[in-house]
Amino acid sequence: MPDADIFYHFAVAKLYASQGFVHSLPWPELGIQSVEFTDYHFLIHLTQIPFTLLPLDENVKIKLYIFFTLAFLLFQLFRYFESIGFKNSYYFLGVWFVLGSTLFTGRLLFGRGNVILFAILFLALRLWNDDKHKFLFGLGFLSVWAYSGFPLLFIVFGLLCLADWSRNKRRNYSFLLLGIMSGLVIHPSFPNQWSGYFLELIIQSFPPPAVEPIAEWLPPTKELLFLGFFPILPLLGITFLQLKKRKMNSPSIVFLFLAIISLIIAGASLRVFEASFLFFFLFLFHNIQLSKNLQILSVIFLILLQLPITYKKNSDHFKTTNPKLIFATTEWIKRNIPPKERIFLSWADYPYFTYKNPEYTYLFGLNPLYAWAKNPELYLAEKNFFDGSVNGFQMIPQILGYKVVIINKQFYPYSAETFGKLNKNYSLDFQNEKYNVYIFTKEAAKTTIDNNIIVK
């Protein structure tokens, strides 16, 4: 179930395959990445390059990549639990990991960098128990190159070290921290990584009020929170009852503590929620002991519960990510608009268009925060256009010299409906259920517009 972001990541992978590593991206006009590109997913982009070269349909390539990354994650999950003497069935473990939470499952299936980071986490947990400090250095290094969520390792293993303040664990943690610091210093985006990670980790955590939050930083709804945790509640109840008769080990205490803290602040964003479920899962399967029959019954219960819910969520997701409507629009652009044309396009649609039509320049980059970082005033002007929230919004693309304007009707219905009515200098040349594509008319191109700016 590819999400929009993975199309952007594959576009970067294709760019690397053709041009080598780059320090600026050629696509976003209003985006800090056009002048300072920090690749927070460098390792992931490298792993995607072989998939871009496969002689297969584009969608098949992406889905294959998602499948193989999930397989790698499950492999590391199984190896870790094998290393701690897991006594239940691995089918029981795997099904509950993949289907235990519709929200967690959905984010795994999007093909995001968290899949690789979680695989690194499970591998690091196994090496931590074996005191392989040199390998932990390497994993700390790779975590920085893989995903911007690498501070998760800093937190998890810091608490594990405090829980077991032995010489070996202190050495393990020191090597892990040294690896993380080395990954930050020896970075393919040097010297942009310092400002880039400050923007991604600090500013994004406390964004300016005017900046639109991206999906993963939005708080989950009450329905999603309920559906995300409801299935595991019976197993958690059984686990706590069983723990009355035996003592929790230190990793279990750490995982439970992290799960509870994450749950308390899970309303802040989807990123925090996925961490909460992950830690509850680790705590649960570190401790639960069920008979084979109860394991089978729990798996049947989970599948029967989650299939209709997942089907509905997939249907809802498909309505906004239907590739046929998106790629019909990108194909029309390719046939009718000359390469290198500047296209007025929202940040939410940027990933699809850079992937299918990398020969054009687009208004926004991947994240509205990146646009704000480059030019806050101009970002607010573009936001006002798509929101249709100020008088005269219809003139903004024309004043900025854009001949092609693409508006997502599902995300911005008001501006999509009224732009062509209010600005007669643009004609509606293409539309489908998702997009309106407006082209600046030849007659209007002959006239001078506000501020003596002429559309060429």
Burial 10-28 (b: 16+ CB within 10 A, else e): bbbbbbbeeeeeeeebbbb
- Which of 273, 291, 319 terminates a domain? The answer is 319
Element (H, E) at 157: helix 151-163
Is a pLDDT exceeding 60 seen at residue 454?
no
User: Is residue 284 packed enough to be buried (19+ CB in 10 Å), middle (13-18) or exposed (0-12)?
Assistant: buried
Q: Are residues 267 and 360 in the same domain?
A: no
**DSSP state string for 312-354:** HHHHHHHHHH-HHHHHHHHHHHHHHS-TT-EEE--TTTHHHHH
How confident is the model at residue 67, as a pLDDT?
92
Q: Indicate the range of 39-43, 76-80, 270-274, 392-396 predicted with least confidence.
A: 270-274
Cα 39 to Cα 52: distance, rounded to the nearest angstrom: 18
The rounded percent of the chain whose pLDDT value lies above 90 is 69
Asked whether the CA dihedral 398, 400, 405, 408 is positive or negative, the reply is negative
Structural tokens at position 236: 């958690």
Same domain, 140 and 272: yes
Pair 170, 307 in one domain: yes
**Which range, of 30-34, 146-150, 226-230, 419-423, averages the lowest pLDDT?**
226-230
222 C-beta neighbours (distance < 10 Å), count: 9
Give the pLDDT score at 264: 82
Which range marks the domain in which residue 412 is found?
A: 323-452
Q: What is the mean pLDDT of residues 95-120?
A: 85
Same domain, 169 and 239: yes
| Residue 1 banded pLDDT, cuts 50, 70, 90 | low
- Report CA 434 to chain centroid distance, whole Å: 22
| Predicted TM-score (pTM) above 0.85 | yes
In a domain, 25, yes or no: no
Query: Is the preceding peptide bond at 220 cis, omega within 30 degrees of 0?
Result: no
Q: What's the mean pLDDT in 423-440?
A: 95
Sequence-separated contacts (24+) of 381-386 with Cβ below 8 Å: 382/30, 383/210, 383/212, 385/344, 385/415, 386/346, 386/411, 386/412, 386/415
In-domain check, residue 241: yes
User: In this structure, is residue 24 part of a structural domain?
Assistant: no
The pLDDT, as a whole number, for residue 119 is 96
If asked whether residues 440 and 350 sit together in one domain, one would say yes
Least confident range from 132-136, 296-300, 439-443: namely 439-443
Q: Are residues 126 and 170 in the same domain?
A: yes
DSSP for 403-452 reads SEEEEETTT-HHHHHHHHHH-TTEEEEEE-SSEEEEEE-HHHHTS--GGG
pLDDT of residue 317: 65
Residues 342 and 270 in one domain: no
The winner for highest mean pLDDT among 213-222, 302-311, 360-369, 422-431 is 422-431
Question: Which of 319, 344, 363 is the C-terminal boundary of a domain?
Answer: 319
Q: Please report whether residue 9 resides in a domain.
A: no
Confidence tier at 452 by pLDDT (50, 70, 90): very low
DSSP letter for 360, please: S
Report pLDDT digits (tens) over 178-224. Answer: 999 999 999 999 999 999 999 998 888 888 888 887 766 676 777 77
Give the model's pLDDT for residue 107: 76
Residue 27 domain-assigned?
Answer: no
Mean pLDDT, residues 91-98 taken together = 93
Residue 429 domain-assigned (yes or no): yes
The CA-CA-CA angle for residues 199, 205, 211, to 5°, reads 75
- Average pLDDT score, the chain: 89
Q: What average pLDDT does the segment 150-162 reach?
A: 96
- Let me know whether 293 and 334 are in one domain: no
- Domain co-membership, 372 together with 347: yes
SS3 for 239-298 is HHHHCCCCCCCHHHHHHHHHHHHHHHCHHHCHHHHHHHHHHHHHHHHHHCCCCHHHHHHH
| pLDDT per position as a tens digit, 301-313 | 999 988 887 777 6
Regarding whether 394 and 312 lie in a shared domain, the answer is no
Q: How many domains are contained in the chain?
A: 2
8, 126, 136, 134: which is closest to 76 by C-alpha? 126
Distance of alpha carbon 251 from the chain centroid: 28
**What are 227's two structure tokens?**
């559906």
Q: How would residue 429 be classed by pLDDT, with cut points 50, 70 and 90?
A: very high
CATH number where 404 lies: 3.40.50
* Residue where a domain terminates, one of 296, 319, 342: 319
Which amino acid, residue 116? I
Tokens representing residue 58 in the block: 């584009």
State pLDDT tens for residues 246-299. 888 999 999 999 999 988 876 667 777 788 889 999 999 999 999 999 999 999
Identify how many contiguous H helices and E strands the chain contains and give both numbers: 22, 6
Q: CA geometry: angle at 248 spanning 243 and 253, to 5°?
A: 120
> Residue 368 falls within a domain, yes or no?
yes
> Mean pLDDT lowest for which of 8-17, 224-233, 420-429?
224-233
Indicate if 288 and 365 belong to the same structural domain: no
Distance CA 331, CA 231 (A): 43
Q: Specify the range with the lowest mean pLDDT, choosing from 5-9, 218-222, 360-364, 400-404.
A: 218-222
Residue 223 lies in a domain: yes
Question: In the structure, what pLDDT confidence band is assigned to residue 54 with cuts at 50, 70 and 90?
Answer: very high
For position 447, what pLDDT does the model report?
Answer: 58
Name every residue whose Cβ is closer than 8 Å to that of residue 204 and which is 6 or more positions away in sequence: 217, 367, 369
- Binning pLDDT at 50, 70 and 90, where does residue 449 land? very low
What are the backbone angles phi and psi of residue 405, rounded to the nearest 5°? Answer: -125, 125
Residues 157 and 273 in one domain: yes
* pLDDT value at residue 227: 74
The answer, yes or no, to whether residue 451 has pLDDT greater than 50, is no
Amino acid sitting at position 350: Y
